[in-house]
Structure 1
Amino acid sequence: MTQCFERKTDISLTRYEILQILAKKERVLQGELQKVLKIDQGAVTRHLKILEEKHYVTRERNPQNNREVYVQISPAGQAIIQGCQTNKKAVLEQFYQGINDAQKAELITVLGIIYQNITTMD
């Protein structure tokens, strides 16, 4: 599914998630992104570097605390979010092609049970 999303949108699911988080807030500390995404600091830095190279985000150091980096979505990043939303809808329609509403509801129920089983594993 993630590979299909990347092919259709030309952006990884994690980077898309970063852009979504940034679209909801004006500025976010890079450390906050790490906590929300539950990935290590190096991974966040690599993703942000790619997003910055594509001009989807801007980063700037906090003048009061040089160790903190603020991240903000750019207008180009906002445009990518809009395009991804459209592509996401088309991809989901393809995924569910030939599946009726009752089958979708059953699938959601089964996936919910699997999710609960995974989250309560020791």
Structure 2
Amino acid sequence: MFELTKRAMPKFERCTGISQSRLEILRELFVSEEITQRELQKKVNIDHAAVTRHLKQLEESGMVIRRKNPDDNRFTYVQLTDEGKQRVAAYCEEKQRFISSVLNDFSEEEKSALLDLLTRLQKNIEEM
């Protein structure tokens, strides 16, 4: 499984132009509208330093806005810009094309069985 991930991730990043971690951050922001950086970090399950680094780069590229809570400077709120929203939609479309390519020549029955197996595997890992 690790070998499969190791081979797929660079191809995914070349295809979509973005890392899976960064896409997860952006997708969560897309769904949440505005969220504290701490909540975001918990939802995407990426360490604090990495989330901060990703957000700084995304802010520099004009995709996100960060602002301090005026009542409590310990909290930073994050949200997508309009450009960020458009780019997330494009990234998600590209991800779907990538997945379709990966599953090329799989029947619907095989796709369904694979999804079932992976879901069960994930559940077993979470229950460990």
Q: Which runs of 5+ in 2 are unaligned?
A: 1-7
Pick one of 55, 58, 69 that aligns with 1:62.
69
Pick one of 73, 81, 84 that aligns with 1:74.
81
Deviation at 1:102? 1.3
Pick one of 113, 116, 125 that aligns with 1:109.
116
Equivalent residues of 2:37, 2:78 under 8 A apart: yes
- Residue matched to 2:40: 33
1:83-122 alignment to 2 at 5 Å?
83-121=90-128
SS at match of 2:40: helix
Equivalent residues of 2:35, 2:78 under 8 A apart: yes
Q: Tell me, in whole angstroms, the C-alpha distance in 2 between the residues paired with 1:21 and 1:116.
A: 21
TM-score (norm 2): 0.85
Q: Over the residues paired in the alignment, what is the CA RMSD in angstroms? A: 1.5
Q: Deviations over 1:10-69 (max 9, x none)?
A: 111111111111112231111111111222211110110111111110111111111111
Q: Which runs of 5+ in 1 are unaligned?
A: none
Question: How many positions carry a matched residue from both structures?
Answer: 121
- Residue matched to 1:21: 28
Equivalent residues of 2:28, 2:44 under 8 A apart: no
1:3-22 alignment to 2 at 5 Å?
3-22=10-29
TM-score (norm 1): 0.89
CA pair 113-22 structure 1, distance change in 2 beyond 3 A: closer
- Give every structure 1 segment of 4 or more consecutive aligned residues whose post-TM-superposition deviation is greater than 3 Å: none
Percent identity, please: 38
Q: Counterpart amino acid of 2:34?
A: R
Equivalent residues of 2:37, 2:76 under 8 A apart: yes
Deviation at 1:109? 2.1
